[in-house]
Amino acid sequence: MPEAAPRIAAILTAHAEGVMAGLSFRSLLEAVGVARAGGLEVEVLVVLDNPTAATRAAFAEADRHGAAVAEVSFADQGLVRNHAVGLTTAGHIAFLDGDDLWSENWLADAYRMCAADDRRIGHPELNWFFENQQNLYFLPDQTDPAFDPALLRIANPWDALCLAPRSAYVDHPFSARAVADGYAYEDWHWMLETFLGGYVHRVVPETIHFKRRREGSQYVQARARKVLTRPSELLDFAWWQERDRSR
């Protein structure tokens, strides 16, 4: 009889974070430990994309902690995530960037919420930014009566460091970055497409993601270049007119 697929794949992606990646890996392992203590089967994957020597060294002993390590050369965060999805059969997948941190309860509590409905995508209640940006951001819940979906036309209220059913990543793979052509914000585009695909973005109470905002990050570069997210029906005003007519 074939082995049952793990319930969760905790996937860390890294590139040039160096020592910081080791701290992120420890954060991931602590969240995995809490989830496993609660009876959940969790697979741990690390995917390195054109890693620097210091970043590769941070995971030299990752296998001792039960993690599988893969190395790729996409130089593209979205494509790395797509590749990582293909490395696991887990029912739910959670991504962590190599310089960010999870609260210890993240995996367990997010899975508890999302497992109840295979169209749910879980987000932390709070993003706590540190280093070159120090502020707090409370994420909205799509089911909150005060949430206006039209917000998605002008901003991305969520990001890809979420826990989602594998189907959300398979049905809606991340688009490639194409800053030279005027396109980036692959997280935002993924939110648009999953929203259109019928997935519901929920906030997991009392969970936190600690997000490093460094100089020269892809987000900072994209803003400096004034690029756009890729086209989506949800960005078309005609879609909203049709939606209002059908109500």
Domain 8-246 of CATH type 2.40.160.40: no
State residue 12's pLDDT score: 98
- The CA radius of gyration of the chain, in Å to the nearest whole number, is 18
State residue 179's pLDDT score: 57
Beta pairing class for 101-102 and 200-213: antiparallel
Q: Phi and psi at residue 27, in whole multiples of 5°? A: -60, -45
Alpha-carbon gap, residue 174 to 164, rounded angstroms: 13
| Extents of the domains making up the chain | 8-246
Alpha-carbon gap, residue 107 to 31, rounded angstroms: 6
- Name the 3-class secondary structure at 161: coil
State residue 1's pLDDT score: 40
- The residues, any chain, with a CB within 8 Å of residue 135's CB and separated by 6 or more, are 129
Alpha-carbon gap, residue 159 to 31, rounded angstroms: 19
pLDDT in tens, the chain (247 residues): 445 678 999 999 999 999 999 999 999 999 999 999 999 999 999 999 999 999 999 999 999 999 999 999 999 999 999 999 999 999 999 999 999 999 999 999 999 999 999 999 999 999 999 987 789 999 999 999 999 998 998 889 999 999 999 999 999 999 887 555 555 678 899 999 999 999 999 999 999 999 998 665 555 555 555 666 777 777 776 776 677 777 6
Alpha-carbon gap, residue 86 to 83, rounded angstroms: 5
Alpha-carbon gap, residue 17 to 58, rounded angstroms: 9
Angle at the Cα of 15 from the Cα atoms of 192 and 40, rounded to 5 degrees: 65
State residue 238's pLDDT score: 74
